[in-house]
Amino acid sequence: MLFACKDKQPEKKRVTKEMLLEMNKKMVGAETKVIEKYIEDKGLQMKKSETGYYYQINQPSQGDTIHMNDNVVLAYTTSLMDGTICYSSATSGLMNFTVGKAQVETGLEQFVQHIGQGAIAKLILPPYLAHGIAGDGNKIPKLSIIIMDIEVVEVQRAAVDASK
């Protein structure tokens, strides 16, 4: 009798790489629709990067473009799509990071390399360029699309190695 029950159990499907890629593609497609509806509803004039973040430059840079290993200081507000403010330089102080050291959201690090000191911009980062599946374990829930309003306050150029 016990063997008969075992034979009637449904066969477990093996998850393949192709299945995971297809699920990821569908998830990114759904996130894109949500972001584009938000942009339309808010009347924003945003562009989409090749990697999938959206941006709007409200004030152009007054300096050279930021490069890998430059230290960047930002005034910022990070919020969820419903308007909930998660983090802000007004309460937490300015954000300070070195480009290329994976200290901030991937989408933010990608974007700052296209602007310079003095730039003011709005970013919308899908989860895969922000805090991913898990969120940040604090104020940003899992799979959250985040909105960042940033101002590049200061750029400290990376030291150039003269021996190269």
- Pick from 163, 127, 133: which is nearest to 147 by CA? 127
> Helix (H, G, I), strand (E, B), or coil: what is residue 80?
strand
Assigned token pair, 85: 């403010």
The answer to whether 116 and 61 are in contact (CB under 8 A) is yes
Please give the class, per CATH, of domain 16-156.
Answer: alpha beta
pLDDT of 122 reads 98
* Residue ranges of domains in the chain: 16-156
pLDDT of 129 reads 96
Read off the DSSP letter of residue 1.
Answer: -
Report, as ranges of residue numbers, the positions in the chain whose pLDDT lies below 70: 1-11, 160-164
d(CA 75, CA 93): 8
The answer to whether 97 and 105 are in contact (CB under 8 A) is no
Integer angstrom CA distances of residue 30 from 26, 109, 126, 133, 143: 6, 24, 10, 15, 12
